[in-house]
Amino acid sequence: MAISKWKGAMSRRRLLASAWGAGALTVLGGIARPYLSRAADRPRITHGIQSGDISLDGGIVWARADRPSLMMVEAATTESFKDIIRVVSADARPETDFTAKVLLDRLPAGQDIFYRVRFHDIASPMIAGEPQVGRFRMASHATRDVSFVGSGDTAGGWGIDESRGGMRTYATMLGNRPDFFVHCGDNIYAECPLGPEQRLPDGAIWRNVVTEEKSRVAETLADYRGNYKYNLLDHNLRAFNAEVPTFAQWDDHEVTNDWWPGMPLRVGDADITALAARGCRAFHEFTPTRQVAAERGRIYRKIAYGPLLDVFMLDMRSYRGPNGDGRQESYGPAAHFLGPAQVAWLKRELGRSRATWKVISADLPIGVTSYDAAAQGDGPPLGRELEIADLLSFIKHAGVRNTVWITADMHYTAAHRYDPNRAVFQDFEPFWEFMSGPIHAGTGGPGVLDNTFGPRAVSQNACSKEQGDDLAPCFGLQFFGHVAIDGASEVMTVTLKDVADRALWSIELAP
């Protein structure tokens, strides 16, 4: 940026920040005037607002405009915004499809934070669009109650049918008033185009909202962006995003089904490397994720949510070896799953964690047999299982306590208990894995468990053989998990729920 342009941008920011601090008034010629608000001219928020990656130091706020503009975000501890404590800005530019996100830092720990987002015209900064208000709860240094929900798999095979209430699971999760939401991957289904109608088993018609970008397999960056914009057309999701921060990770469908780096695939003019780059860029543009300075586009990270909880977000896609028979007896590139750098990071951060509970959020389950997951069949650790065995053994011998895994991907919900006494590989401590999903996608049947790490399905809800796979969301088999940690006893209560908010199964875990 040229110096003159940089100075001009900074001048606009100072003027606008001053105006916001004065209670949404501008000062021109010594006279306080309200913002200009000509409806035909002012920038507009197009897809709601979001927050995410909330920790002890602050969090991310996201929005998208309909044109090049300047996003201004105010933060306050009261809904009236009489006590504005932070004002931050960011540019919404064509190169990011007019998305913008800011880090609201230096916020008081433990507080409910209200934030207000408004876009200002670049050429005429006094012209401002209508604001939208969201909220989130800051992590606390105190041992207070904490709750969150977790699930995955949004808009897979079935789109938004407004006559059936849209993506209703988001409304149900919002009704639980969680502190945050962990999206365990498959935020979109880039290779699953939607037509206007789909026939249900009973002969009824499911009618999708349709858009141009969602009508074809994603190939261009605009297509990938369009998949996220499609989901954000849903009123349930927009209402949820304004009230509940999201911790987002990805899996395969953010790029294409079962992908891995180097996969022999070409869609139009793009090979898998180009598709993955476009998918990753769109993921970061449209989710409220923090950027990791050590690696551009990195998704794995730790989110510290106070003395009771650290959340470890994994990436089981970007560093893996090829999908295959998974029978490698020794560890090498063909057996990579998380990859050496991510495994080393996870061990280091788990060892450093002083939180009571360490929740490991994985985009794929450990013990459900699947072509592109870790489990490839009964027996000793082979292939991708070698990394999992090494990690579980480390957790045991390093004395890392109270690890719980959450995951999605399989389109049904289950509670898996891993026990070395049932396992072929036995050098680990028992642990739980809770699998939930889909949020809004076709429901699948129960998977086959691999005995390598001794999993047992203590509870599961899925399609029956008679119902068949890919059952539409209107049949009620959409699932999420609810986790509540008691601030006094530090007991974690995990409840598996469905779209009707029915508790299907629950357990209390003492630390």
138-192 pLDDT, tens digit each: 999 999 999 999 999 999 999 999 999 999 999 999 999 999 999 999 999 999 9
pLDDT band at 40 (very low <50, low <70, confident <90, very high): low
Distance, CA of 177 to chain centre: 17
- Tell whether pTM > 0.85: yes
Which of the residue ranges 31-40, 50-59, 151-160 would you say has the lowest mean pLDDT?
31-40
Residue with tokens 């929900």: 149
297-303 long-range CB contacts below 8 Å, 24 or more apart? 299/249, 299/250, 300/249, 300/338, 300/342, 300/345, 300/346, 301/53, 302/349, 302/353, 303/53, 303/54, 303/55, 303/247
User: ∠ CA(445), CA(451), CA(457), 5° rounding?
Assistant: 45
* pLDDT at residue 35 is higher than 50: no
pLDDT of 378 over the 60 cut: yes
* pLDDT digit string, tens, across residues 241-267: 999 999 999 999 999 999 999 999 999
Burial of 80 (0-12, 13-18, 19+ CB in 10 A): exposed
DSSP β-bridge partners for residue 134 = 115
Find the range with the poorest average confidence among 141-145, 305-309, 322-326, 439-443: 322-326
pLDDT reported for residue 123: 85
Q: Which among 63, 59, 70, 35 has a CA at the least distance from the CA of 49?
A: 63
Max Cα-Cα span within the chain = 79
- Decide: helix, strand or coil at residue 303: strand
Predicted confidence at residue 124, as pLDDT, reads 86
**Non-local CB neighbours of 114 within 8 Å, separated by 6+ positions:** 75, 76, 77, 78, 79, 81, 133, 134, 135
Q: Where are the beta strands (DSSP E) in 231-296?
A: 246-248, 266-267, 270-271
Say if CB 41 and CB 56 are below 8 A apart.
no
Show the beta-strand stretches assigned E in 23-98: 25-28, 31-34, 45-55, 58-65, 69-76, 84-92
Question: In 3-state terms, what secondary structure has residue 467?
Answer: coil
Q: Which whole number is the average pLDDT over 74-102? A: 97
Report the pLDDT averaged over residues 103-108. Answer: 96
Mean pLDDT of 16-25: 41
Residue 129 has pLDDT above 70, yes or no: yes
* Rounded distance between C-alpha atoms, residue 408 and residue 251, angstroms: 10
What type of residue sits at position 110?
G
Cβ proximity of 408 and 436 under 8 Å: yes
Return all residues near 499 (Cβ < 8 A) that are at least 6 apart. Answer: 168, 169, 172, 473, 476, 477, 478, 479
Kindly state the tokens that stand for 156: 């897979």
